[in-house]
Structure 1
Amino acid sequence: MTGFKEMARVFACMVVLLAASANIQARQLPDFTDLVEQASAAVVNISTTQKVQSGSMELPEGIEIPELPEGSPFGDLFRHFFGEPGGGMPQEREAKSLGSGFIISKDGYILTNNHVVKDAHEIIVRLADRRELKAEVIGTDERSDVALLKIEAKNLPVAVIGESEQLKVGEWVLAIGSPFGFDRSATAGIVSAKGRALPRENYVPFIQTDVAINPGNSGGPLFNLDGEVVGVNSQIYSRTGGYMGLSFSIPIEVAMDVATQLKEHGKVSRGWLGVLIQDVTLELAESFGMSKPQGALIAKVMPDSPAEAANLQVGDIVMSFNGREIERSSSLPPVVGSTQVGKKVPVKVMREGRTQTLWVELGELPDKDEKIAKAEPSKITSDNRLGVEVADLTDQQRKEIGLEGGVLVQGVGKGAAGDAGIREGDIILRIDGKLIGSVDEFEQRVEKLPEGKSVAVLIQRRGGPIFLALKVPEPK
């Protein structure tokens, strides 16, 4: 009997310990109920209407719509795409889309995404109290994907603006929006990474999260646990069109800066340095004599740019900009873009193994990107140590492309060039810091390359310069 009582006491203790452990775990998990109740009033649903052209597509000459039995589904299909025989003026129809946003002032200013309201001829904002109001577009900024709207209303609930810079990877965050039109849906997750650079989005250091974001969430707020907006939900990475665990938000500091400029000036001005940059890989770091990969490697300096005026050079590695350390190339554009136009700032670069500080007066980022044309070769060579066939460019071709020198890669075989990633169609501009002006100069430079050591090769590919690390293998 005594043994039974002892077992009962042990069992009771285990139950108490398990319950205490469960309570501790429960306390560690966040409770979002208060946050949602307090913050959701400032979140709005945005529905837009666009006018799109639909109607007949022209059939190739000599081909007519076939005669089909009445009621045939194929007849409807042909009429949908090509219109009625003999007719065919395009018809205008309305398309609707949904998004989200949040109120940033009591008098009706609203933040959302540019792509939510792009090309809309009517925008309706639905508030938490179910009022539906027409919105006016104050301004949009395609580069940051931010839009500022205005509705005529007073004493509206306003979202509390926080600081995304204080976010830490692993921190809990919550999104409220209208995925697929389901108003005020709340989804939670953690911060997966900060400062993400996405293709064609160089001026936004995105916050990456695993919060479930779907079509309709765009433009909605991302909250921290204090109920402060730290980001604007903007994009997802998806192969299906839906959520796959990778969501991206615009830092609230970026969005608010854009909103302020749109409100005050109707457009957004960004600082411009005038360089094309890339990451420093381990192999490139070795070729430049660096102990570790760091900074933004300058692959091209634009003519008549602030960088050219400050004597920044191709091959310089930007280590810090205006006192902010640059770890990767993706860190530089947002810092430059957020710096005031006309301001003179210090830029620390590594050049030929030594660091130096240059002072740059920033210009304003141009609206259009540089365009570079293709060229055809003249003199050709294929007998070299790299296993690559190159050709001269004519003076006219160089003028059209906007290059002072370079040789066109016509073929890549087995060898150091192919191993380095050089491709057919690339233009080789520099090898180991030396300009290549012709096939003859290319051959001379290649013959002098050291064996077993990485050297930097600057190429032009699809209109943009890229550094590659090339190593001529040692003889076996």
Structure 2
Amino acid sequence: PLLPATGSYAEAAGRSMPSVVNIYTTTAPSRRERNPIVEDPFFQFFFGDRMPGGRGEGQGQAPGRNPGPGQGQQRPQSLGSGVIVNAQGYIVTNAHVVEAASQIEVALADGRRAQATVVGADPDTDLAVIRVELPDLPAITLGSTARMRVGDVVLAIGNPFGVGQTVTMGIVSALGRNQLGVSAFENFVQTDAAINPGNSGGALIDTQGNLIGINTLIFSRSGGSQGIGFAIPSETVREVMDQLIGSGTVTRGWLGVETQDLNAKLVESFGLSGTSGALVSALVRGGPAEDGGVRPGDVLIAIEGKPIANSSALLNSIAALKPGSIAAVTLLRERKEVKLSVKIGTRPTRKRA
């Protein structure tokens, strides 16, 4: 809801702006050439990449800064945003912002600058944690999307085009947006708040100033904001950052299946009553599902008693399980319900459910 008295969002923005940082990364050209994600034009647009011949103030130069000796053309610079999540110097950003960086510099809203190190990255969610050694860091308050509704007002904070910290306003356009094909785990908050190149890794906050998402991508034909932006929800941010801070990696459950969503034709073919569930199209040989008795053609309808709506829901349900645990898997086979006990494996990076 609108803040009372003035209807202004200045108070919410003021609470969060000190926690949002600008991130400048330096990438050796040889490493950059081998990085398909940074070279992807889609990520270049959103990342705000300062490439030779691009829109920066000079070749390989971050806005408002002069390149050091020998750094102009040899060490391209890129920019993004990040969010301070605790006073110990941990900052959450996007994995694609820092994954190819040979050097990372963080600029705080109060003018301080520091070199950062990568604590860990999770390509499956496009999240990463970096750390700086500075005192008196203003950590943001993590909120929740559980009570967010389509139509709620949100604010995006970041460094678009390198012009400096900027706040834009919009609404929640959709919740739980998935199947976009941009990352393994998709449960995005969609917003029409203006998100532009350089905002990647910045904050999406509610009207109380709480973090509800990390801005991660846009759909755009021009490279600029067209009102279709996506943020990783705070629940995912919290889960991933806790694991990265604790161990530097993220561990998830794995079933070892390839699945597809059900459509009307498949429902008719398999004699099903609805389109809820995930059809097993293939198994990983020697994987948990095959060892547990799952077969191609089975329709997975529940995990641990919780219904499975589609392949995306299956992926998220399995990932949340502890590797080594025994999961109750309910499926339909030849129009009959079958219950199996399957030992959950450890998910390899960038694999299916």
TM range (shorter): 0.7 to 0.9
Do the aligned residues in 2 keep the contact of 1:53 with 1:93 (CA within 8 Å)? no
Matched, 1:301 2:283: yes
Matched, 1:191 2:172: yes
Following the alignment from structure 1 to structure 2, what is the Cα–Cα distance between the partners of residues 224 and 316? 42
User: Which of 211, 219, 231 is equivalent to 1:229?
Assistant: 211
Deviations 1:105-146 (A, max 9, x none): 112110001111122122111112111111111111222111
Summarize the Cα distance change of 1:192–1:356 in structure 2 as closer, same or farther, 3 Å threshold: farther
User: Which of 91, 103, 124 is equivalent to 1:122?
Assistant: 103
Do the aligned residues in 2 keep the contact of 1:163 with 1:230 (CA within 8 Å)? yes
More helix by share: 1
What is the TM-score normalised by the length of structure 1?
Answer: 0.61
Matched, 1:41 2:18: yes
Q: Displacement, 1:92?
A: 6.8
Q: Which residue matches 1:434?
A: none
Q: Which residue matches 2:194?
A: 212
For CA contacts below 8 A with separation 6 or more, give which structure has more relative contact order: 2
Deviations 1:3-39 (A, max 9, x none): xxxxxxxxxxxxxxxxxxxxxx997996322100111
Q: Which residue matches 2:325?
A: 343
Secondary structure of the residue aligned to 2:135 is coil
Q: Displacement, 1:355?
A: 2.5
Q: How does 1:392-411 map to 2 (within 5 A)?
A: none
User: What amino acid does structure 2 have at the position aligned with 1:35?
Assistant: A
Count of residues in correspondence between the two structures = 310
Q: Displacement, 1:250?
A: 1.2
User: Which of 262, 265, 269 is equivalent to 1:287?
Assistant: 269
Following the alignment from structure 1 to structure 2, what is the Cα–Cα distance between the partners of residues 300 and 28? 59
Following the alignment from structure 2 to structure 1, what is the Cα–Cα distance between the partners of residues 220 and 6? 28
Following the alignment from structure 2 to structure 1, what is the Cα–Cα distance between the partners of residues 307 and 151? 23
Instruction: Give the unaligned 5+ runs of structure 2.
Output: 32-71
User: What amino acid does structure 2 have at the position aligned with 1:252?
Assistant: S
Summarize the Cα distance change of 1:292–1:227 in structure 2 as closer, same or farther, 3 Å threshold: same
Following the alignment from structure 1 to structure 2, what is the Cα–Cα distance between the partners of residues 164 and 134? 32
RMSD across aligned positions (CA) = 2.4
Q: Which residue matches 1:176?
A: 157
Following the alignment from structure 2 to structure 1, what is the Cα–Cα distance between the partners of residues 195 and 350? 31
What is the TM-score normalised by the length of structure 2?
Answer: 0.82
Q: How does 1:61-140 map to 2 (within 5 A)?
A: 93-140=74-121
Following the alignment from structure 2 to structure 1, what is the Cα–Cα distance between the partners of residues 11 and 4? 15
Secondary structure of the residue aligned to 2:271 is coil
Q: Which residue matches 1:443?
A: none
Following the alignment from structure 1 to structure 2, what is the Cα–Cα distance between the partners of residues 30 and 345? 49
Summarize the Cα distance change of 1:142–1:34 in structure 2 as closer, same or farther, 3 Å threshold: same
User: Which aligned runs of 4 or more in structure 1 are off by greater than 4 angstroms?
Assistant: 25-30
Do the aligned residues in 1 keep the contact of 2:184 with 2:350 (CA within 8 Å)? no
Following the alignment from structure 1 to structure 2, what is the Cα–Cα distance between the partners of residues 28 and 272? 51
Q: How does 1:247-262 map to 2 (within 5 A)?
A: 247-262=229-244
Secondary structure of the residue aligned to 2:83 is strand
Instruction: Give the unaligned 5+ runs of structure 1.
Output: 1-24, 55-90, 371-476
Deviations 1:326-372 (A, max 9, x none): 212222112222322112222222222232332222101124659xx
Summarize the Cα distance change of 1:31–1:355 in structure 2 as closer, same or farther, 3 Å threshold: farther
User: What amino acid does structure 1 have at the position aligned with 2:295?
Assistant: Q
Matched, 1:315 2:292: no
Do the aligned residues in 1 keep the contact of 2:123 with 2:350 (CA within 8 Å)? no
Q: Displacement, 1:94?
A: 1.3
Following the alignment from structure 1 to structure 2, what is the Cα–Cα distance between the partners of residues 229 and 307? 37
Following the alignment from structure 1 to structure 2, what is the Cα–Cα distance between the partners of residues 361 and 197? 27
Q: Which residue matches 1:271?
A: 253
Summarize the Cα distance change of 1:324–1:202 in structure 2 as closer, same or farther, 3 Å threshold: farther
Q: Displacement, 1:273?
A: 0.6
Q: Displacement, 1:276?
A: 0.5
Summarize the Cα distance change of 1:166–1:347 in structure 2 as closer, same or farther, 3 Å threshold: farther
Do the aligned residues in 1 keep the contact of 2:191 with 2:229 (CA within 8 Å)? yes
Following the alignment from structure 2 to structure 1, what is the Cα–Cα distance between the partners of residues 290 and 239? 28
Secondary structure of the residue aligned to 2:184 is strand
Do the aligned residues in 2 keep the contact of 1:279 with 1:295 (CA within 8 Å)? yes
Identical-residue share of aligned pairs (%): 39
Following the alignment from structure 2 to structure 1, what is the Cα–Cα distance between the partners of residues 191 and 170? 7
Following the alignment from structure 1 to structure 2, what is the Cα–Cα distance between the partners of residues 263 and 252? 16
Do the aligned residues in 2 keep the contact of 1:117 with 1:123 (CA within 8 Å)? yes
Following the alignment from structure 2 to structure 1, what is the Cα–Cα distance between the partners of residues 321 and 3? 44
Following the alignment from structure 2 to structure 1, what is the Cα–Cα distance between the partners of residues 288 and 6? 50
Q: Which residue matches 2:341?
A: 359
Larger radius of gyration: 1
